[in-house]
Amino acid sequence: MNNNYVLYGRQGGGSLVIQFLLEELGAAYTIEWVDRDAAADRSSAYRKICPTGKIPALILPDGTSLFESAAICIHLTATHPQARLAPPHGTSEHAQFLQWMLFLATGVYDSILRYYYAPRYTTGSDGHGVKEAALAEFEDCLSVVEHQLSTYLAGASLSAADFYLYMLAGWHPDGYEAVQKKFPKIGALCDIVGARSKVQRVMDQNN
């Protein structure tokens, strides 16, 4: 066992939120960038780490391999409670935190994936109709967040859910500017998250 995490990811991909959290936690970690072809190859070494072939995956200090971004985020908040990146367990705020983490993962994340990888979700030739429907669903999901959002998603302070939302909002095809115009409360939260020095450092590394 060592004290380091190993993050498997792709620049600008779903590993962003994990990198945000590791930086915020001050955790020791290294990054392994995963080639798309290697991830797709079922016989590749990466498939032994993450059986789905998707990113991100995180090797924990005890050697355990963990995949699914929301699960990784929740685990990191639980194992580093001193960072206060999730409300205390057993509170209504923590229940809301879990609600939003799962909604972001299954609603917002899933819909924007269908936009960018439309051919995976149809037997048609171009996936055009899938892209249109996916973007509409993505914005519908953001609308749900917008109407429920106060300053932060869960409780009175910043949590991992806010970092997750920041990453996903940045995947809008027209960028943060479109999100800020259509969803001003989400835009304001993105400004808060994006202004953090550790977030800026991660974004620089992912450009």
CATH classification of the domain holding 194: 1.20.1050.10
Q: Domain total for the chain?
A: 2
pLDDT tens readout for residues 127-171: 678 999 999 999 999 999 999 999 999 989 999 999 999 999 999
Provide φ and ψ at 59, rounded to 5°. -90, 120
Model confidence at 124, pLDDT cuts 50, 70, 90, reads confident
131 contacts 144 by C-beta, under 8 angstroms = no
Q: Quick one: pLDDT at residue 78?
A: 97
Query: In this structure, are 66 and 102 located in the same domain?
Result: no
Residue 207 lies in a domain: no
Q: Quick one: pLDDT at residue 123?
A: 75
Query: In this structure, are 15 and 57 located in the same domain?
Result: yes
Q: Among 50, 68, 84, give the residue marking a domain's end.
A: 84
Residues 6+ apart with CB under 8 A from 195: none
Q: Quick one: pLDDT at residue 2?
A: 60
Provide φ and ψ at 8, rounded to 5°. -100, 125
User: In the numeric block, which tokens belong to residue 147?
Assistant: 């109407």
Range of the domain at 125: 92-202
Look at the pTM and tell me if it is higher than 0.85: yes
Q: Quick one: pLDDT at residue 40?
A: 75
Q: Among 30, 50, 84, give the residue marking a domain's end.
A: 84
Closest CA to 56 of 64, 66, 47: 66
